[in-house]
Structure 1
Amino acid sequence: MDVRDAPGRWEALASRDSSSRHAAMELVHQEVMKRIETIGPIPDPCSSSPPAVDDALSSDLNALLAHVLMLSKRCPYEDVRKKCMCLLQTVQDVMCATA
């Protein structure tokens, strides 16, 4: 799910139907975790080898996480805000564990 290519999926997070919001949030969660898995562990910045992270994948993940961060602050639905904050915490935990 690309942030730029899937406006309908993001719009489902603004639905009045909580089950639609839950399903859309689950898709976002899966996509974020899939992208993190695809990128793999973050290389040690002190190592002499160049980073193996694809810039396009990293950029897409950053755009996705920026959107999730915005939703965690601005979404009118508390359940979406909480799930976005949990997702961001999960990403932070995963990234710290692999570093």
Structure 2
Amino acid sequence: VTEAEGRKRAVELAADAELYAAEQEAKARRITAEAEAYATQIVAQALAENGIEAAQYQVALKQVEALTAVGQGPGKQTIILPAQAMDAFADAFKMLKGRG
């Protein structure tokens, strides 16, 4: 009887631990969602007060951060071209096809 009660208690404790972990994960998700909602609200407020310049500044800042991260990576042969450069290459290839 004692052994069966011990197994029962172990199952109960395992279920409690699983429930606690799920509750903590849900709590973390709620906190993250609240933080994202707050950040979105602040950005919307900045846009309302400062216009599109605030958004353009944020985009430019993120681009610089991304380029910095790429530059610090292990790859030594990474080349970054602006989107306009790719358009220029496409136009050049179209012109070359037209000659042939």
Q: Same fold (TM over 0.5)?
A: no
- TM-score norm. by structure 1 comes to 0.30
Higher relative contact order (CA 8 A, sep 6+): 1
Between structures 1 and 2, the one with greater helix share? 2
